[in-house]
């Protein structure tokens, strides 16, 4: 189980304070998978870092596998496996197996036990045949699987995965998701991702973050029901506030994919189709804001003209 209780983190750079995480509370039940979703800078990685005891919260606390991240750091570390993409996780010249044996031996395993466990985790992630290949020859997909293998060495009850499919091609990402699903049956997992496919397929609970705050939470059906139907419409003009719903721009018309409940914001429109919402629709509705719309519009048009404001 993972439970955050009014957790906050403020970074100070010179005289400026950045509230990266602002009073966030959520719970991921034991042996289920949760996902933190939100734009760049929303605070996802900061939460993962606090849960893995790499940084200390400014206030609040969290329980990981029942242990407090502020009072029982050692127990928390023993309970988690962490997969991130931002650091150099392995020795480039060592083989996959040598790397894993090295990390397993750091867990107080004898050399023969470390070797045994390294082979087991390689097998779990489907890299057995590649054990004797140096890490530097690994593709991004293989590197990510090896990172997962490393996180599994101690068979931790909790896995924290920070953007685990970043940079993977669609097939590798699909295989990685399948692996996470298989491993996740008896683990509590919290992941972050910008890919709605990851969230759609893996997360039983979704926490939407924006500017450090949790702005919505639920399973995908709750969130989709909350949004209601989406309608694709063709319009000649639209108010700036609806810019985030534009999916296609032509010389003399726009196509918007807009929640039904916001349709009356439009003056004239021609309905193209009506659909159940996707998670991406929910994300755009809850996360995209007016500043984003203005930015998007500027990029589309290469300027600032031709719309209501």
How many residues of this chain bind ligand ATP (CB under 6 A)?
12
User: Per CB under 6 A, which of residues 10..29 are in contact with ligand ATP?
Assistant: 11, 13, 18, 20
Nearer to ligand ATP, 117 or 210 (CB): 210
CB of 40 to ligand ATP, least distance (A): 3
Q: Which is nearer to ligand ATP, 8 or 99 (CB)?
A: 8
User: Which distant-in-sequence residues (6+ apart) come within 8 Å of 16 by Cβ?
Assistant: none
Binding-residue pattern over the window 29 to 68 for ligand ATP, x denoting contact by CB under 6 A: ---------x-xxxxxxx----------------------
In the complex, minimum distance from the CB of residue 223 to ligand ATP, in angstroms, rounded to a whole number: 18
Of the two residues 96 and 208, which places its CB atom closer to ligand ATP in the complex? 208
CB of 6 to ligand ATP, least distance (A): 17
87 binds ligand ATP (CB under 6 A): no
Q: Which is nearer to ligand ATP, 41 or 228 (CB)?
A: 41
Report d(CA 35, CA 217) in Å as an integer: 10
Q: What are phi and psi of 72, to 5 degrees?
A: -130, 55
Number of C-beta neighbours around residue 151 at 10 A = 23
Report yes or no: 187 and 148 within 8 Å, Cβ to Cβ. Answer: no
Least distance to ligand ATP from the beta carbon of 274, Å? 32
Say which residue the tokens 């009073």 belong to.
23
CB of 165 to ligand ATP, least distance (A): 13
CB of 42 to ligand ATP, least distance (A): 4
Q: Which of residues 270-289 bind ligand ATP (CB under 6 A)?
A: none
- CA neighbours closer than 13 Å in the CB half-sphere of residue 56: 5
**Whether 294 contacts 240, CB under 8 Å:** yes
CB-nearer residue toward ligand ATP: 96 or 173: 173
At 218, which helix (H) or strand (E)? strand 213-218
Rounded least distance, CB 52 to ligand ATP, Å: 13
**Nearest residue (CB) to ligand ATP, 86 versus 250:** 86
Closest CB to ligand ATP among residues 43, 156: 43
Q: Crossing angle, helix 279-287 and helix 220-227, to 10 degrees?
A: 60
CB of 8 to ligand ATP, least distance (A): 12
Q: For residue 244, which phi and psi values (nearest 5 degrees)?
A: -70, -15
Q: What is the DSSP string of 115-179?
A: HHHHHHHHHHTT-GGGTTSBGGG--HHHHHHHHHHHHTTT--SEEEEESTTTT--HHHHHHHHHH
DSSP one-letter string for 287-305: H--HHHHHHHHHHHHTSS-
Answer for the pair 56, 10: CB distance below 8 angstroms, yes or no: no
Q: Which residues bind ligand ATP (CB under 6 A)?
A: 11, 13, 18, 20, 38, 40-46
């Amino acid at each position: 189980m993972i439970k955050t209780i009014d957790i906050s983190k403020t970074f100070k750079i010179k005289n400026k304070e950045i509230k990266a995480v602002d009073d966030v509370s959520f719970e991921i039940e034991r042996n289920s998978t949760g996902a933190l979703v939100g734009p760049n800078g929303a605070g996802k990685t900061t939460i993962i870092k606090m849960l893995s005891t790499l940084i200390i919260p400014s206030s609040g606390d969290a329980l990981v596998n029942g242990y407090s991240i502020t009072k029982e750091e050692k127990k928390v570390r023993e309970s988690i496996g962490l997969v991130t993409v931002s650091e150099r996780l392995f020795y480039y010249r060592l083989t996959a197996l040598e790397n894993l044996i090295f990390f397993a031996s750091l867990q107080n395993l004898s050399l023969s036990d470390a070797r045994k466990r390294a082979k087991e985790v390689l097998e779990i992630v489907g890299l057995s045949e590649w054990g004797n290949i140096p890490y530097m020859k690994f593709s991004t997909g293989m590197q990510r699987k090896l990172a997962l293998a490393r996180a599994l060495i101690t068979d931790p009850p909790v896995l924290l995965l920070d953007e685990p499919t970043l940079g993977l091609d669609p097939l590798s990402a699909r295989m990685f998701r399948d692996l996470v699903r298989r491993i996740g049956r008896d683990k509590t997992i919290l992941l972050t991702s910008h890919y709605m496919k990851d969230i759609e397929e893996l997360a039983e609970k979704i926490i939407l973050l924006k500017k450090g705050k949790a702005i919505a939470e639920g399973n995908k059906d709750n969130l989709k029901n909350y949004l209601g139907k989406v309608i694709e419409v063709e319009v000649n003009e639209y108010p700036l506030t609806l810019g985030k719903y534009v999916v296609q721009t032509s010389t003399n018309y726009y196509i918007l994919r807009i929640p039904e409940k916001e349709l009356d914001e439009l003056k004239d429109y021609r309905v193209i189709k009506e659909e159940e919402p996707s998670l991406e629709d929910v994300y755009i509705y809850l996360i995209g804001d007016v500043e984003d719309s203005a930015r998007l519009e500027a990029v589309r048009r290469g300027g600032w003209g031709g719309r209501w404001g």
